[in-house]
Amino acid sequence: VLQSSNSLKASYEDWLLTYGLSISPFHMRWQTAVFNRQFYNWGRWKPRFLYLWFSVGMVFGIVAMFGSVILLGKTLMQTLTQMLTEAPNAQNDRMLQVVVSVFSSGLYLRVVPGVNLPVSQLTYFFSAVLISGVIHEVGHGVAAIREQVRFNGFGIFIFIIYPGAFVDLFTTHLQLISPVQQLRIFCAGVWHNFVLGVASFIVLFLLPAILFPFYYTGVGALVTEVAEDSPANGPKGLFVGDLVTNLQDCPVYSVEDWNSCLEDISEKSQVGYCISAATLQQLSFPARVYRRLDGTVECCSNNSLTDICFSYSNNVDSHLYACLPARKVIEASKVCRTNVDCQKDFVPSFCVTPSLENQTRLIRVKHPPHIDMLYVGHPMHLQYTVSLSSFVPRQNFLSIDLPVMIETFCKYLISLSGALAVINAVPCFALDGQWILNSFLEATLSSLIVEKQSRELVGFLILLAGSALLAANVALGLWMVTAR
């Protein structure tokens, strides 16, 4: 609207130029020279160290270029195999699909998760994307100044809702330096992303030691959030601040234990509980037995919120059913698989097992000093609707969310910075891999292939193949997501 106005167009464009802004549909970009002095200070700090630093980065970038091709080729074969199989692997449901967008100011990576991203984690996602992009471009900028290439400015942009960063280098200087110098500059971005990912992994790994003065670990899984629609939400359910120590007979010392216990419970058959014959006769009451649609047996009223149908066997009949009050049966009872597990002190006892629908489990969750929570449902529903932390505050005033925030942010940095390094290393048009490949060919093939046009043709064919490989991964990946 402002550009179409004869009276405002000139002043509007002057205003954009003054503040280094560029605005177009879905894309806003800001460039400044304010940070130039800082970049020059970084680029001139310890020249010998920076030479070694970016030389190692150059080697890494070249290796990453070949490695990314192998990785994309393997991923493509796995995706094609998955498409041809009738029952795909469940673990592939969470694979990351890579989408690359090209703008007038350059090419920037976007990683779109193959599963829904929770709204509560959008801040982590966009912050990690921005920081990964900034660190990537800082690598290019510092390396360029180290190689005596003029640095014009640094900027950030927003495309639709995705943030990113870029550096503006003097192209003529970049073309005049040697291919090896160019390699140090072009590989610096993926090198810095790799270093950022490694640093984030180290912080994540050492987090218990870093937070040891304030938080202790290894005592259970601390509940930090319970979703409103969670089956664990209720007067006898879980509350924020509860410390979970056991799931059935599976001890829980951390969030990892919580997840592995739930996975183990979902994969194995429902456990039973020991109950004496006298108690069984006292608690059970007559009820009509009928089969559900999935073939399982129900013997309690559908309106009951406290009773569960249990199955058991004796020496005569192996398919007996009794409707029993769940809490009275389970509390102070020993977990069992067969009647043999319950034989003690010559007291006649039975191993009664909840008769539930397929994939449904009765899970006893211990969170002392509160009464045990009895959960009936799919174990994964409990996993998805309850958030926990392995870190327990030593003092009441300490936040229970801080360690979770640090953990989550580190994981996003590892994933997104690593993805940025891998994709930018691919020998593909407009990616860093294009310039890495061209400089690599100039540095290695100039004596074998004398004519520059022939070297450029070889590079063009490799870039064409790399672009096709990346495009195939993107297309099939998006197809897999939409098809599901």
Ranges of residues in the chain with a pLDDT under 50 are 88-115
The confidence score (pLDDT) of residue 478 equals 80
Rg (C-alpha) for the chain, rounded Å, is 31
Q: Is residue 344 a contact partner of residue 360, using CB atoms and an 8 Å limit?
A: no
The confidence score (pLDDT) of residue 406 equals 96
The confidence score (pLDDT) of residue 103 equals 28
Cα–Cα distance, 33 to 39 (Å, whole number): 10
Q: Is the peptide bond before 403 cis (omega within 30 degrees of 0)?
A: no
Cα–Cα distance, 47 to 27 (Å, whole number): 37
Q: Is residue 436 a contact partner of residue 42, using CB atoms and an 8 Å limit?
A: no
Contacts of 337-341 spanning 24+ positions with Cβ under 8 A: 337/271, 337/272, 338/272, 339/312, 339/313, 339/314, 341/274
- Of 13, 86, 137, 451, the active-site residue reads 137
The confidence score (pLDDT) of residue 317 equals 75
Q: Is residue 163 a contact partner of residue 29, using CB atoms and an 8 Å limit?
A: no
Point out which residues pair with 361 in neighbouring strands: 377
Cα–Cα distance, 134 to 142 (Å, whole number): 12
The confidence score (pLDDT) of residue 422 equals 93
The confidence score (pLDDT) of residue 48 equals 96
- Both tokens assigned to 274: 């020991």
Q: Is residue 157 a contact partner of residue 164, using CB atoms and an 8 Å limit?
A: yes
Cα–Cα distance, 319 to 311 (Å, whole number): 7
- Both tokens assigned to 444: 């290695």
Cα–Cα distance, 191 to 175 (Å, whole number): 21
Cα–Cα distance, 58 to 250 (Å, whole number): 49
357 catalytic per annotation:
no
Burial of 167 (0-12, 13-18, 19+ CB in 10 A): buried
> Which runs of consecutive H residues, i.e. helices, occur in 85-148?
122-146
Q: Is residue 129 a contact partner of residue 164, using CB atoms and an 8 Å limit?
A: yes
Grouping H, G, I as helix, E, B as strand and the rest as coil, residue 116 is coil
**All structural domains of the chain with their residue ranges:** 1-32, 34-85+92-154+162-207+408-483, 215-268+371-393, 271-355
* Closest-CA residue to 322 (of 281, 383, 363): 281
- Both tokens assigned to 259: 């997840």
The confidence score (pLDDT) of residue 345 equals 66
Burial of 353 (0-12, 13-18, 19+ CB in 10 A): buried
Residues 6+ apart with CB under 8 A from 36: 151, 152, 153, 154
The confidence score (pLDDT) of residue 86 equals 52
Grouping H, G, I as helix, E, B as strand and the rest as coil, residue 347 is strand
Helix (H) or strand (E) holding 51: helix 47-84
Residues 6+ apart with CB under 8 A from 438: 456, 459
Cα–Cα distance, 283 to 60 (Å, whole number): 69
Cα–Cα distance, 405 to 387 (Å, whole number): 12
Grouping H, G, I as helix, E, B as strand and the rest as coil, residue 115 is coil
Helices 432-445, 179-210: crossing angle, 10 deg rounding: 130
Point out which residues pair with 222 in neighbouring strands: 243, 389
Which pTM was predicted?
Answer: 0.83
